[in-house]
Amino acid sequence: MTGCDRVTSAHRQPAGEALFFWVRWRMWRAGIRALWQAPAKLVVMTITWTVLLAGLSTLCDHGVRFIYNSPGFGPFLLSRLWYLLLFVILAMLGISQVASAYSTFIRAPETRWWMVLPVSARTLCRVKWVESSVYSAWAVLLLLLPLTMAYVRVLNQPLYLVAAIGGLVFVPLLGIMTAISTIGLLVWLRCCSRFVVRGEWIPLGFVVASIGFFWLLGEQRSTGQQDVWFVALQALLPRMRIAMSGWLPSRWAATAMLAWLEGRRVECAVYTALLWTTLFVAWRVLDHLSAALLWPVLRQHAQPALGEAAPARRGKGHAPWWVRHPLLACLTKDALLAGRDPMQWSQAVMFFGLLGAYFANIHRIAQLSVDPQWRIGIAALNLACTLLVFGSLAVRFLFPQMSLEGRNLWLVRIVPRGVRQLFVSKLAFYGMAAVVIIECLLGLSMAQLGVPLTLRWWLALVGVMAAATIVGLTVGLGAWWMDPTSQDAVRMVSSSNGALVLVFVLAYVGCVVAALVLAWLSWLVGAWARLGFISLGLTAISALVCVLSIRLGLARLERLESAV
Amino acid sequence: MIQAIGLTKHYGSFVALHDLSFESRPGEILALVGPNGAGKTTALKLLVGSLTPTAGQALIGGFDVHHQPVDAKRLLAFVPDQPFLYEQLTVSELLSFIGGMYRMDPANLQRRAEQLLRTFDLEQVAGRQIGQLSYGMKSRLLLLVSLLHEPKAMILDEPFFGLDPQTLRLMKQLLIQRAADGMTIMLSTHQLPIVEDVAHRIAVLSRGRLLALGTWDELKQQHGGQRLEDIFFQLTGAPHRELA
């Protein structure tokens, strides 16, 4: 078969949506082949994923069994927690899908190319919706499946039910949420484009709304001396009321799943049918809306012509004294670019804002004279939560940083020591930002909980160390696995390298959490030597991870053969 | 000023460039011409230090680009074929950034920036984000950026691509003037008539090998023909594909 024959036959087969997925399939297949040719990387990935999934599965198993076996209210609490979990996951997925859809629909350069092909708006919207949904939902499925598996095991049901529940209940649930988010995004971009220009305010508005939400949930009322479990349950109940609302697809999914596992077949069938019907309706609405909105939205967000653009920012030849040094020049450049791109920081503002709103509302625990040991435990847990959030954000935004320099990299490569300065400036800029944010949140949490001063210092140091390590890990490995030709951050993060970095970050955060738990237990029994040993161990692990990642990144940058 | 000594680049078994040797003197414009895939961009990237040679040396002002990159890069400016710049920075912010990267004195930077903005007719857009500029403006800005730190040698990859007649003339005048001031300029292009206008010496590359090197008069004497295009096809082979 000649080259021409191959091209012709390849073109004859797919069309429309199939053509798009065919292109994706070929790209994916090429990625798999490349992975196959790098056996060391394949082995590391396989081992890491196996360990991660096994660990997650064991953790879920123990957690679910612990709650289920709690005397008196275990099974009831566990079933109710499903409503809350699915509700929270749904909300997180909604936010994630907005970012993913914006990136896939609007920012991906290939969209402009697809626009000039004889492809309808509906076709483009369908494929982009599916693609963005996969990017935003795979991690959710990864979390839900081990939990479901653990729950099925606890109830002594057959394991094949996990696949059935995943396919029949969770898939439509995720589909509904991603479709609704995409509809919301398209309508917003079309109708409120003026506000989109001022998109900087959106995440701040979200944080303000979250603070109001916490206040409305009734945290402001104070009660007397009560048991911790009771306080926790009392705090859970108002949230539960929202999560149990009959209008929420998360409730339908939870009900369908519980009915299935408890043998209520009719109820299960009704709710599953409701989920699939809603998915179908949401998809059709998205389909019709996209036919009317997608082209105008894409045209609206095309690069503005000269003269229609935003007003000039500054006068000519502006040269402040502090950009005299290359490192400062890079820092200034990074700060300006990050500040002008709300996608870079809006999710950080939202997630850290939520954490801040939560930390600002935990003063009740101190007011209730809860045992100081528990307060210290909660402070450590808050640090772990903050690091987890920061870790996932770092993978999403810091890992692709060096690659996104991509085609502009020639500019720093021709400068003496330019790339090195750029790399160091990224470490410094994001490291400083991370330390400031994490320390502020931690300070707020510890002040609200009334943690003793010595422990405050210890936790603050752990926070600084962990923040620096996560930045070193993500930026360093981002440089090591740099792809200067890639311009789509979402796709990079979803790639095998991105997933591996996420695993490494989660593993490191796991180490920090383990160290925090051990340190807390040592504090309880006054084992100071053990506390010192744990601190040393954590410092050694952090230094190793950070230095190794940075050295790998630097080594790659030094022998980088540019694709400029 | 710009010297290649036996520069060779292999990609596996594929030879992208084989034993390229030449020297370009101060005040000279050397044009590198050749069909697509001849190895022009590879040669330029090796000279700039973007690629590591399989064999040979690239010297800028006597400094080896790969072993003394800092000294070599101080003397050098590079203009790539596409105007990729930080789109969300304003023109003046980009100039501040470049000035900072080269450790330029702020007063000197300010003076240079104003002078070059005037020369390239970009004063009016100095406060505008680069993403909002037209292609021609970005191309001019690219040249401006490369001249900011007053380099002694300049390497340009396809500098005339996509330019309007005014910008093209500006570019030609600028190259001739800088060469007259003593700068060494090396460029690669497919625009043979422009090469005839501006280049002092011409190097013809094909399939990674240097086929000819000399002044326009020397090439005419050696290979005959009235236009560079005739000599080019004589050396590299005329097109014989059927038109669709």
How does residue A238 score in pLDDT terms, banded at 50, 70 and 90? low
Q: pLDDT digit string (tens) for B29-61?
A: 999 988 888 888 889 888 888 788 889 988 988
Contact (CB<8Å) B89/A328: no
CA distance B235 to B231: 6
Q: pLDDT digit string (tens) for B94-130?
A: 888 888 888 888 888 888 888 889 888 888 888 888 8
Q: Scanning every residue of chain B, which has its alpha carbon at the shortest distance from the alpha carbon of A557?
A: B50
Whose tokens are 């600002």? That residue is A360
State percent of chain A over pLDDT 70: 81
- DSSP 8-state symbol, B82: S
CA distance B66 to A558: 11
3-state secondary structure of B22: strand
CA distance A403 to A422: 12
Question: Tokens for B185?
Answer: 């300029």
Q: What is the pLDDT at residue A85?
A: 86
Lowest mean pLDDT among A194-208, A216-230, A447-461: A216-230
**Residue A181: burial class (beta carbons within 10 Å; 0-12, 13-18, 19+):** buried
CA distance B133 to chain A (A): 6
State percent of chain A over pLDDT 90: 17
**Residues A45/A496, Cβ–Cβ less than 8 Å:** yes
For residue B141, CA distances in Å to A450, B110, B189 come to 57, 16, 19
How does residue A182 score in pLDDT terms, banded at 50, 70 and 90? very high
Among candidates B69, B114, B132 on the partner chain, residue whose Cβ is nearest the Cβ of A317:
B114
Any idea of the CA torsion for A139, A144, A146, A148, to the nearest 10 degrees?
A: -170
Query: What's the rounded mean pLDDT across residues B153-175?
Result: 85
- DSSP 8-state symbol, A305: P
Q: pLDDT digit string (tens) for A317-342?
A: 455 555 677 788 888 888 888 877 77
Within 8 A of A341 by CB-CB distance, chain B residues are: 88
Question: What are residue B7's DSSP bridge partners?
Answer: B20
CA distance A286 to A12: 29
Q: What is the pLDDT at residue A207?
A: 67
**Residues A553/A479, Cβ–Cβ less than 8 Å:** yes
- DSSP 8-state symbol, A72: T
For residue B176, CA distances in Å to A364, B27, B153 come to 76, 9, 13
Among candidates A313, A411, A559 on the partner chain, residue whose Cβ is nearest the Cβ of B127:
A313
Provide the H-helix boundaries in A398-417: 401-405, 409-413
**Residue A481: burial class (beta carbons within 10 Å; 0-12, 13-18, 19+):** buried
Query: What's the rounded mean pLDDT across residues A272-279?
Result: 94
Contact (CB<8Å) A408/B86: yes
Question: Tokens for A415?
Answer: 């400068």
Contact (CB<8Å) B85/A324: no
**Residues B153/B75, Cβ–Cβ less than 8 Å:** yes
Q: In A185-290, at which residue ranges do the beta strands (DSSP E only) sit? A: none
CA distance A557 to chain B (A): 11
Among candidates B93, B106, B131 on the partner chain, residue whose Cβ is nearest the Cβ of A336:
B93
Contact (CB<8Å) A414/B92: no
Within 8 A of B74 by CB-CB distance, chain A residues are: 416
Provide the H-helix boundaries in A37-120: 39-68, 74-101, 110-115
Cβ neighbours around B89 below 10 Å, total = 22
Question: What are residue B60's DSSP bridge partners?
Answer: B2, B63
Q: What is the pLDDT at residue A564?
A: 37
Q: What is the pLDDT at residue A473?
A: 93
**Residues A387/A508, Cβ–Cβ less than 8 Å:** no
Q: pLDDT digit string (tens) for A445-485?
A: 888 888 888 888 888 999 999 999 999 999 999 888 887 77
CA distance B16 to B13: 9
**Residues A554/A423, Cβ–Cβ less than 8 Å:** yes
CA dihedral (B37, B41, B45, B46) positive or negative: positive
Q: What phi-psi label fits residue B73: left (phi over 0), alpha (psi between -120 and 50 degrees) or beta? A: alpha
Cβ neighbours around B227 below 10 Å, total = 12
**Residue A47: burial class (beta carbons within 10 Å; 0-12, 13-18, 19+):** exposed
Contacts of A11 (CB under 8 A, 6+ apart): none
Query: In chain A, what is the straight-line distance between the N-terminal and C-terminal CA atoms, in Å?
Result: 35
β-strands B55-60, B63-64 pairing? antiparallel
State which H helix or E strand residue B31 sits in.
strand B29-33
Q: Scanning every residue of chain A, which has its alpha carbon at the shortest distance from the alpha carbon of B71?
A: A416
Whose tokens are 């970005």? That residue is B138
Within 8 A of A109 by CB-CB distance, chain B residues are: none
Q: What is the pLDDT at residue A307?
A: 41
B6 backbone dihedrals φ, ψ, rounded to 5°: 60, 35
How high is the mean pLDDT of chain A?
79
Number of CB pairs, chain A paired with chain B, less than 8 A apart: 152
CA distance A531 to A133: 45
Q: What is the pLDDT at residue A3?
A: 44
Higher pLDDT, B156 or A338: B156
CA dihedral (A497, A502, A506, A508) positive or negative: positive
How does residue A198 score in pLDDT terms, banded at 50, 70 and 90? low
Helices (H) and strands (E) in chain A, counts: 24, 0
Q: What is the pLDDT at residue A124?
A: 86
Query: What's the rounded mean pLDDT across residues A280-302?
Result: 85
Q: Does position A276 have pLDDT exceeding 90, yes or no?
A: yes
Higher pLDDT, B238 or A115: A115
Vertex A125: Cα angle to A100 and A270 (nearest 5): 85
Contact (CB<8Å) A408/B76: no
Q: What is the pLDDT at residue A313?
A: 47
Cβ neighbours around A309 below 10 Å, total = 15
β-strands B29-33, B14-24 pairing? unpaired
B78 backbone dihedrals φ, ψ, rounded to 5°: -130, 135
Axis crossing angle, helix A326-339 with helix A342-360, rounded to the nearest 10? 80
**Residues A279/A168, Cβ–Cβ less than 8 Å:** no
Q: pLDDT digit string (tens) for A336-353?
A: 888 777 767 777 777 787
**Residues A135/A100, Cβ–Cβ less than 8 Å:** yes
Q: What is the pLDDT at residue A549?
A: 92
Cα of B195 vs its chain's centroid, Å: 12
CA distance A161 to chain B (A): 51
ipTM score for this prediction: 0.74
A208 backbone dihedrals φ, ψ, rounded to 5°: -60, -45
Within 8 A of B138 by CB-CB distance, chain A residues are: none
Whose tokens are 């040396």? That residue is B57
**Closest C-alpha among A390, A361, A382, A378 to residue A213:** A361
Q: pLDDT digit string (tens) for B191-218?
A: 888 888 888 899 988 888 888 888 888 8
State which H helix or E strand residue B55 sits in.
strand B55-60
What is the model's pTM? 0.67
Question: Tokens for A337?
Answer: 């670019």
Contact (CB<8Å) A564/B80: yes
3-state secondary structure of A59: helix
Higher pLDDT, A91 or A468: A468
Query: What's the rounded mean pLDDT across residues A350-373?
Result: 72
**Residues A444/A360, Cβ–Cβ less than 8 Å:** yes
Q: Does position A18 have pLDDT exceeding 80, yes or no?
A: no
Q: pLDDT digit string (tens) for B54-102?
A: 899 889 888 888 888 778 888 888 888 877 788 888 888 888 888 888 8
**Residues A333/A422, Cβ–Cβ less than 8 Å:** no
Q: Scanning every residue of chain B, which has its alpha carbon at the shortest distance from the alpha carbon of A412?
A: B101
**Residue B189: burial class (beta carbons within 10 Å; 0-12, 13-18, 19+):** buried
String of DSSP letters for A141-158: HHHHHHHHHHHHHHTT--
Provide the H-helix boundaries in chain B: 40-48, 69-75, 91-101, 106-119, 135-147, 165-180, 192-198, 216-223, 228-236
Q: What is the pLDDT at residue A526?
A: 79
Within 8 A of B134 by CB-CB distance, chain A residues are: 306
